[in-house]
Structure 1
Amino acid sequence: MTRPVTGGGGGQRLLDRHPRAGRQEALRHQMLRVRGRSVAWVPPLLILIGIAVLDIFTPDDFRIISWIVLVPGIAAAICSVWTTAAFVVLSLLTYVVVDSVWPDDFHVGLPDLILIALGGLLATAACAVRIRGEERILHIRGIAETIRRTVLRPLPMHWGGLDHAAVYMPADTYARVGGDFYDIQPGPHGTRVLVGDVQGKGIGAVEMMAALLGTFRESAYHEPDITTVAERLEVRIRRHREHVAALGRTDLDRFATAVLLDFPQDAKDAVDVVNFGHDPPLIAGPHGVRTLPPTGGLPLGLGDLVPPEVPTLPPVRRFPLAADETLLLTTDGVTEARAPDGGFYPLTVEVTRALAADPRTARPRRLAALVRDGVLRHSRGHLEDDTTVFAVRRI
């Protein structure tokens, strides 16, 4: 499901109108509804009528009325159980009526009637299984989404003196919540922001995400130095992996890429950045787009792979940030979104073009919505990885 852009309004989208369903379910529901009413019964009805009409107007030696056994099967794929059962009865009645129109010598007879009845019973049972499976998938997805909402707390508007907007879109996988995360923590030493992505999916990724966010919320509030916050995050991920190992689990190789931001109180026109192997943020403003240089930092949890004499934490870099400029942070679901021809989503090019057409696109809500819609359009709605877009600027 696609999350609306937080921090403000935004128009209703196809995927927003089906918040509990996955992308495929949402598309099917949309295609089978007109003005809010279900039209799933129309395709099998048209096929039923078409078979009956063709059977009447085809030559005597070419009877196709027995093809009516397809109708309950089609209904089972798109209709409810009761609608499918109704089409079974309607198919049997249509068969009897159409077959009786022909002279006795050309009747298809009882064998095909039994075939249609058995096919209808099987179709009805298959429809019941399908409906139960869909309900279970939606239930599991609902549980996963509840877990994610519990870990990723809602962010108030203008929280910590920042104007922000966030979009989260899960990948095209059922009931496998990913590890994208973001948060804002105001405190006595300034406002800090964390955006990142835990490697992998499932409950293990959510556990690590929760551990990192909990550590960030406490250390970002209490610690005056952003370097100490970065150290706490690295230590926390190692402690989490030790705990997982003590439980005898095998998912010990998880790590997380992240960007830690500090909006210092003593520099209103600057931002401090610590990049743990994440995609470099973009700064978008009325005068264009610039990409912050990568710092070469390792992802969180991989610091123990380097020799002791090599620094494990990436450096803190300060960059100028004007009042009308927005920091744009994305996870790799954006930069790795592929078109049907295999091309990656050109994030910088798209943002630059949009800003040239309308400098107001640099506002967080507009910028997040632009990237969200661009990724969905570029990938035709098929996302290979969880996708997060986070835009933030000072008020």
Structure 2
Amino acid sequence: MSGRGRTPVGGRAVRLLPPGSVTDRGDGRPQILRVRGRSVAWVPPLVLLIAIVVIDYNTAREFRIISWLVLVPGISAAICGVWTTAGFAVLATLTYLVGDSVLPNEYQAGPADFMLSAIGGTLATLACAVRVRAERRGTHLADVTETIRRTMLRPLPPGWGGLDHAAVYLTADEQAEVGGDFYDIQPGPHGTRVLVGDVQGKGLSAVEAAAALLSTFREAGYHEADLATVAERLEIRMVRHVAHVNALGREDADRFATAVLLNFPVNDPDTLESVVFGHDPPLIVGADGVRQLPPGDALPLGLAALTGTTAPPPVLRTPLAAGETVLLTTDGVTEARDGDDVFYPLATEVTRAVAADPRIAEPARLVAFVRDGTLRHCGGVLADDTTVFALRRRPGPTGPPRS
């Protein structure tokens, strides 16, 4: 898999780390050379120190490598903590004094190499302090980024809002945790609302716009009885956000967002309500096949003024049978290209897979299938942030959601 992402586990979106990656141990330093939870990073410099002493002792007097002890704190500085490195700096210097003094005067390295060992140990300790400080700063920044990610793409409990769900989120930038793609489920007294979207452009300004839309969705999606009103609130929020950015004089003010807004009505389990804001329409996947939701005629969020009307977009009502899964993706999926510049045929591939195995329609299986197919099609190189989100009503009455 390319980059960091999310994979469906128990209905939640969880972060993936590449195999063999270094993880934080909680004190600002990564876990390097640990066995059963205990650090053994001190072993390599200690082994090097012993090896230098043994080799120096068992070779001819003209072949002196005792001054190589300066390498010991240098190795420690790269993988150990500050106090451990300082200890090796002192130990290496003392070992040099003892090792050099046991030889006759004509074979002793002398004070010059002693100064080399002492100064080398001091510099290694200082370098280790700089490295550890940088690691702690990196860990802090990673925590901030993780907090932003969890605020935007908050963890969704299994069965949230009466829906079985699974999500995969892959960023085109390996170092990024979040991008312009966003999704959420908001249960409420009027039904369970779902929002998936993609802010135009990249960078932190796209994340900022996505956060603005999500905050509005979480409030309006809960309180507003009419899905058209929720859609109108999202449009107004995008326009306000753009106006605010314009007032600040920023160059990234011209933003819009494609999105899909869904509602699973409380009292009508056989119907799905939707508003598609210039986004790829969702697919409805079931054991009997695959069909696409109507695209509607709503423009992307932030561009409604181009229609010359202030009326909210119409809400489309689509039959939704029990056991059917709604599949939503961003253009990171549909615009993924292979070596021949051919787009990933999402609907065709899903149709073929469901025909071969109807269990693919289950949310977790479906999301994993689309994720793997997209990465395989583009050779693991994502040109854009990629979101795959699948939802299915849980069987049986759920009642009005309260959260």
The two structures share one fold, judged by TM-score above 0.5: yes
Aligned-pair CA distance for 1:125: 1.2
| Structure-1 residue corresponding to 2:238 | 237
Q: Find the aligned partners of 2:236 and 2:163 in 1 and give their Cα distance.
A: 28
Question: For structure 1, which segment, 213-222 or 6-15, has the greater mean C-alpha deviation from structure 2 after superposition?
Answer: 6-15
Runs of 5+ consecutive residues of structure 1 not aligned to the other structure: none
CA contact (8 A) 1:347 1:371 kept: no
CA contact (8 A) 1:2 1:15 kept: no
Residue 72 and residue 378 in structure 1: after superposition, are their counterparts in 2 closer, same or farther (change >3 A)? farther
Q: Find the aligned partners of 2:139 and 2:257 in 1 and give their Cα distance.
A: 28
Q: Find the aligned partners of 1:378 and 1:57 in 2 and give their Cα distance.
A: 60
| Structure-2 residue corresponding to 1:149 | 150
| Structure-2 residue corresponding to 1:324 | 323
Which amino acid is 1:201 matched to? G
Aligned-pair CA distance for 1:245: 1.9
| Structure-2 residue corresponding to 1:68 | 69
| Structure-2 residue corresponding to 1:257 | 258
Residue 273 and residue 83 in structure 1: after superposition, are their counterparts in 2 closer, same or farther (change >3 A)? same
Which amino acid is 1:136 matched to? R
Aligned-pair CA distance for 1:109: 2.5
Which amino acid is 1:200 matched to? K
Which amino acid is 1:88 matched to? A
Matched residue of 1:324: which SS? coil
Aligned-pair CA distance for 1:257: 3.3
Residue 151 and residue 74 in structure 1: after superposition, are their counterparts in 2 closer, same or farther (change >3 A)? same
Which amino acid is 1:392 matched to? L
Q: Find the aligned partners of 1:5 and 1:92 in 2 and give their Cα distance.
A: 54
Q: Find the aligned partners of 1:377 and 1:66 in 2 and give their Cα distance.
A: 53
In the TM superposition, 1:276-355 aligns within 5 A as: 276-278=277-279, 281=282, 283-285=284-286, 299-302=300-303, 308=307, 321-331=320-330
Q: Find the aligned partners of 2:340 and 2:326 in 1 and give their Cα distance.
A: 28
Residue 9 and residue 295 in structure 1: after superposition, are their counterparts in 2 closer, same or farther (change >3 A)? closer
Aligned-pair CA distance for 1:181: 2.5
CA contact (8 A) 1:7 1:163 kept: no
Q: Find the aligned partners of 1:67 and 1:345 in 2 and give their Cα distance.
A: 58
How many pairs are equivalent? Answer: 386
| Structure-1 residue corresponding to 2:185 | 184
In the TM superposition, 1:1-395 aligns within 5 A as: 5=8, 21=24, 29=31, 32-56=33-57, 62-100=63-101, 102-167=103-168, 171-173=173-175, 177-187=178-188, 189-198=190-199, 199-202=201-204, 204-221=205-222, 226-264=227-265, 268-269=269-270, 271-278=272-279, 281=282, 283-285=284-286, 299-302=300-303, 308=307, 321-331=320-330, 360=359, 362-365=361-364, 367-368=366-367, 388-395=387-394
Q: Find the aligned partners of 1:7 and 1:391 in 2 and give their Cα distance.
A: 13
Residue 80 and residue 157 in structure 1: after superposition, are their counterparts in 2 closer, same or farther (change >3 A)? same
Aligned-pair CA distance for 1:287: 6.4
Q: Find the aligned partners of 2:18 and 2:117 in 1 and give their Cα distance.
A: 38
Q: Find the aligned partners of 1:334 and 1:90 in 2 and give their Cα distance.
A: 57
Residue 46 and residue 262 in structure 1: after superposition, are their counterparts in 2 closer, same or farther (change >3 A)? same
Question: For structure 1, which segment, 178-187 or 287-296, has the greater mean C-alpha deviation from structure 2 after superposition?
Answer: 287-296
Matched residue of 2:263: which SS? strand
Q: Find the aligned partners of 1:284 and 1:266 in 2 and give their Cα distance.
A: 22
CA contact (8 A) 2:283 2:327 kept: yes
Residue 358 and residue 89 in structure 1: after superposition, are their counterparts in 2 closer, same or farther (change >3 A)? farther
Which amino acid is 1:394 matched to? R
Matched residue of 1:44: which SS? helix
Aligned-pair CA distance for 1:206: 4.4
Question: For structure 1, which segment, 181-190 or 69-78, has the greater mean C-alpha deviation from structure 2 after superposition?
Answer: 181-190
CA contact (8 A) 1:255 1:300 kept: yes
CA contact (8 A) 1:286 1:355 kept: yes
Question: For structure 1, which segment, 308-317 or 46-55, has the greater mean C-alpha deviation from structure 2 after superposition?
Answer: 308-317
Residue 393 and residue 71 in structure 1: after superposition, are their counterparts in 2 closer, same or farther (change >3 A)? same
Q: Find the aligned partners of 1:186 and 1:299 in 2 and give their Cα distance.
A: 24
Alpha-carbon displacement from aligned partner over 1:306-349 (angstroms, at most 9, x marks no partner): 6x57999998666665433333434566778999x999997959
Residue 369 and residue 20 in structure 1: after superposition, are their counterparts in 2 closer, same or farther (change >3 A)? farther
Question: For structure 1, which segment, 308-317 or 318-327, has the greater mean C-alpha deviation from structure 2 after superposition?
Answer: 308-317
Question: For structure 1, which segment, 225-234 or 109-118, has the greater mean C-alpha deviation from structure 2 after superposition?
Answer: 225-234
Residue 164 and residue 8 in structure 1: after superposition, are their counterparts in 2 closer, same or farther (change >3 A)? closer
Which amino acid is 2:196 matched to? V
Question: For structure 1, which segment, 328-337 or 43-52, has the greater mean C-alpha deviation from structure 2 after superposition?
Answer: 328-337
Q: Find the aligned partners of 2:65 and 2:349 in 1 and give their Cα distance.
A: 55
Matched residue of 2:165: which SS? strand
Q: Find the aligned partners of 1:227 and 1:220 in 2 and give their Cα distance.
A: 10
CA contact (8 A) 2:13 2:155 kept: no
Residue 181 and residue 125 in structure 1: after superposition, are their counterparts in 2 closer, same or farther (change >3 A)? same
CA contact (8 A) 1:20 1:138 kept: no
Runs of 5+ consecutive residues of structure 2 not aligned to the other structure: 395-403
CA contact (8 A) 2:12 2:166 kept: no
Matched residue of 2:202: which SS? strand
Q: Find the aligned partners of 1:251 and 1:94 in 2 and give their Cα distance.
A: 61
Residue 243 and residue 93 in structure 1: after superposition, are their counterparts in 2 closer, same or farther (change >3 A)? same
Aligned-pair Cα RMSD in Å: 5.0
CA contact (8 A) 2:274 2:317 kept: yes
Which amino acid is 2:130 matched to? V
Alpha-carbon displacement from aligned partner over 1:253-277 (angstroms, at most 9, x marks no partner): 3333322223356864554444445
